[in-house]
């Protein structure tokens, strides 16, 4: 089911999201809806607060617009390490339509999360994937690309 996307300045986009306590069928339904909504938008990442759910969940598929789809669901994600080397990219946000912002983020990161089955995962990401994970994790902490613009 495609869910409506919450648009800035909705207060839900500024909330710290609560940890997910159990990976169950309701959560898997949310994740499925989030993928459907993200692909329809069409975006490469979507965090739960962007569909009005204040839980630490996001989905992303960094490659589907340019290659084979590689969908990933992140539950209770943590960025464990970020490289000192930075990358600067123009980022868009489905909750802030038509307002791309130049954002600096780590060039490489290492993250840990639960997937949609509740299995703990750990992975290293670089380039656009690293930026996407940082962007979506920001959403879970109530941070928007506009906050990066003000700091630049």
Which residues does the annotation mark as catalytic?
136
- How many Cβ atoms sit within 10 Å of the Cβ of residue 94? 20
Contact 94, 109 (CB under 8 A): no
Cβ 4 vs Cβ 40: under 8 Å: no
DSSP assignment, residue 123?
E
CA–CA distance, 1 with 3 (Å, rounded to integer):
6
Residues 6+ apart with CB under 8 A from 14: 142, 144
Contact 33, 49 (CB under 8 A): no
């Amino acid at each position: 089911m495609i869910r409506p996307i919450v648009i800035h300045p909705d207060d839900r986009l500024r909330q710290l999201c609560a940890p997910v306590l159990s990976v169950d069928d309701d959560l898997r339904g949310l994740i499925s809806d989030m993928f459907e909504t993200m692909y329809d938008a069409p975006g490469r990442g979507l965090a739960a607060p962007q569909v009005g759910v204040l839980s630490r969940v996001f989905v992303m598929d960094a490659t589907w617009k340019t290659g084979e789809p590689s969908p990933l669901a992140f539950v209770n994600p943590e960025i464990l390490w970020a490289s000192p080397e930075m990358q600067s990219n123009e980022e868009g946000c489905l909750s802030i339509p038509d307002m791309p912002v130049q954002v600096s983020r780590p060039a490489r990161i290492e993250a840990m999360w639960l997937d949609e089955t509740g299995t703990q995962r750990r992975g290293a990401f670089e380039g656009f994937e690293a930026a996407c994970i940082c962007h979506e994790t920001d959403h879970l902490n109530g941070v928007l690309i506009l906050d990066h613009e003000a700091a630049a």
